[in-house]
Amino acid sequence: MRSVRSLKDRRFAKLYIYSHTTALVLCFYLSLHSKSDSVITMSQKALLLEEVGKPLVAGERPIPQAGSNQLLVKVLVAGLNPHDQRTRDDGLFVTSLPYVLASDVVGEVAVVGSGEYSSKFSVGDHVFGHSFAEGGFNNDFNGAQQYALVDARYVGRVAGSGLSDDEASTIPVIVLAGFIALFAKSGLGLPPPFSAGAKSFDYANTTLLVIGGGSNTGRATIELAKLAGVGRIITVAGLKNEETLRASGATHIIDRRASNVLEQIRALTDDDLAYAVDTVNAGVDQEIGVAALSNTKRGNLITLRRTEGELDADRIGSKNAGYDRRLAFGVSTLHPEVTIPFWNEVPRWCKEGKLRPSSFEVINGLNADAVNKALDNCRDGNGAKVNIRPWD
């Protein structure tokens, strides 16, 4: 009996070891081959807008899965901009609730999706880009969360920029808006610096007016115009920014507080101005930009804020050849013919010092109270460029 029981015990032990080993191997296999499934089902921390007009709250949402020409990134920096305050308080860009804010994203590539553009990146690369995705402002692409998707066509490598992750986060929204205002068809339509048309365009004898040169986007627009070779860059801005603006490329600076701003502009342009960008004003406050345009040749004012409201014909001048005033929407997906090469070039432009990062403040962690305070400051006119570090 003792020998039979011993034999059974040995058989049971072998069966147990075999079964246990098989289970471990199966678990290991599944861990290797079901990464995409685990990405879909896992949750992450995020800051959520649950109701328009209410403060952001800490919450959780699923980690998305990278699709064709997409990268899943671990968000290292999520950059806030003035429009994020209007998103929270007025619902600007909100497509569904709860909603995630922050359009500037810097991340470490965690998963590389399929497709030609994705294949150019590797796990571990640090990239920076703008969160607007094909089809709209999609939560999966926005920055105030631990993981987000980015479109591989519209990101640059931090490593090629000479910038830190925090500095790189100040580039996408700010610089892209100025670039589209100058070079996209919906903007002024000037030949981009990397295009064949730029070689034959007479940039040296071109004049550009930038209203709001002291803003981050205004300064970036001036830098881009200088990069392209624009010969005369006039800006209306506060004189406290004069040194920075001259270093950025402005050739003439007009004090925005002067009582004769229009007269000073027209004295410089001699009724010949065809190109202007207003980076700060909305609606009828864009009057000065239109009034500065030539009365005898067709001119163009590109704005970065809404253009509603009729302008006073007596105040803007005769404009015998007409004029265009239109909003340039600063998102990459609307202008792939110029923005795909833009994202290839922008790291180099930064490294060469042709584009400079903006100053910023830092919020460590997905701290709802601190982020709401930053948005309140923006609402009250005391806003600064703010970087959220979701993992700190």
- The residues that bridge with 361 in the sheet, in sequence order, are 386
Residues 392, 388: Cα–Cα separation, whole Å: 9
Structure token pair of residue 104? 């500037």
- 11 in the Ramachandran plot: left (φ > 0), alpha (ψ -120 to 50) or beta? alpha
Residues 75, 169: Cα–Cα separation, whole Å: 11
CA 390 to chain centroid, in Å, comes to 17
> What does residue 24 show for φ and ψ, rounded to 5 degrees?
-65, -45
pLDDT at residue number 191: 99
Instruction: Please say whether the dihedral angle defined by the alpha carbons of residues 44, 173, 387 and 70, taken in this order, is positive or negative.
Output: positive
Identity of the amino acid at 306? R
Buried b (16+ CB within 10 A) or exposed e, 175-192: bbbbbbbbbbeebbebbb
Question: What tens digit of pLDDT does each residue of 140-171 get?
Answer: 999 999 999 999 999 999 999 999 999 999 99
CA distance readout (Å), 174 to 166, 262, 349, 360:
14, 26, 14, 13
Question: What tens digit of pLDDT does each residue of 106-132 get?
Answer: 999 999 999 999 999 999 999 999 998
| Sites in the chain below the pLDDT cut of 70 | 1-41, 134-136
pLDDT at residue number 132: 82
pLDDT at residue number 86: 96
Helix ranges, 34-81 (H):
35-41
Task: Report all structural domains of the chain as residue ranges with CATH numbers, in order of start.
Answer: 39-171+357-389 (3.90.180.10), 176-327 (3.40.50.720)
* Residue 218 near residue 279 (C-beta atoms within 8 A): yes
pLDDT at residue number 8: 42
Structure token pair of residue 255? 């004090």
Taking each helix axis from N to C end, the angle separating 368-379 and 82-90, rounded to the nearest 10 degrees, works out to: 100
Please compute Rg for the chain using Cα positions.
26
